[in-house]
Amino acid sequence: MKKSPLVGISLRNGLIAGVLAVGLLSVMYYLGRHPLMVAPFLDFRILLLGIFVFFTLKEFRENHQNGELHFWQGMAGGFIMVMVAATVASALFWVFTALEKDFIREYVVQMTGYLKSFAPEDIERIGKDAFQRNLEDLPSTNGKQIAASYFIQSMVIGFFVTIILSVSLRKHPKSLAN
């Protein structure tokens, strides 16, 4: 059975993106900015996954499809690329949290301070019980939980990026009936 070039390109780019994501996380951490305390709309994964999905689909379209790309091909290639990137990044992130003992401790301290700074009306909006439960559960946070959360967030970000780029990059053959 012949392997699809879309799968190969997606696997390669996903592997590179996953390693690069953990590299960026560790650089942020060692530069003094805890990567888990970044606002979601400033998350570098939006740009990173966007760039890698774009180049995955563009390479497949231009080098293997004679300039054609269907939406389903874009979604399949993007999904594979994001799945590989999220899996690799989450696994390496889990290893990083095991090796860097202060990472989780610093996250718990910073997040606790952040949560305690919430205004009473914000706590009411969230719900006092849910807020208190989250605050109490925070000290038991571990690397596996963080890696799982990172994986899920990456998949959600990647899903929306893939939809946008699959629509933007799709091209169909010109009709011969013209």
DSSP assignment of the chain equals: -PPPHHHHHHHHHHHHHHHHHHHHHHHHHHTT--GGGS-GGG-HHHHHHHHHHHHHHHHHHHHHSTT-B-HHHHHHHHHHHHHHHHHHHHHHHHHHHHH-THHHHHHHHHHHHHHHT--HHHHHHH-HHHHHHHHHHGGG--HHHHHHHHHHHHHHHHHHHHHHHHHHH-B-PPPTT-
Residue 39: per-residue pLDDT: 85
> Given a cut of 60, is residue 46 above it in pLDDT?
yes
Of these ranges, 23-32, 113-122, 126-135, the one predicted with the greatest mean pLDDT is: 23-32
Q: What is the mean pLDDT of residues 109-127?
A: 91
Residue 95: per-residue pLDDT: 97
**CB distance 79 to 104 below 8 Å:** no
pLDDT in tens, 56-100: 999 999 999 999 999 999 999 999 999 999 999 999 999 999 999
Residues 6+ apart with CB under 8 A from 78: 10, 53, 56, 57, 158, 161, 162, 165, 166
The closest of 166, 171, 169 to 80, measured between CA atoms, is 166
Per-residue pLDDT band for 175 (boundaries 50, 70, 90) equals low
Residue 2: per-residue pLDDT: 62
> Given a cut of 80, is residue 10 above it in pLDDT?
yes
Residue 41: per-residue pLDDT: 83
Average pLDDT, the chain: 93
> Given a cut of 80, is residue 173 above it in pLDDT?
no
Residue 178: per-residue pLDDT: 46
| Percent of the chain at pLDDT exceeding 70 | 96
Q: pTM value?
A: 0.90
Q: What is the mean pLDDT of residues 93-112?
A: 96
Residue 108 structure tokens: 């718990």
Per-residue pLDDT band for 172 (boundaries 50, 70, 90) equals confident
**CB distance 161 to 49 below 8 Å:** yes
According to DSSP, the residues that pair with 171 across neighbouring strands are 69
Residue 150 structure tokens: 């990172």
| Percent of the chain at pLDDT exceeding 90 | 81
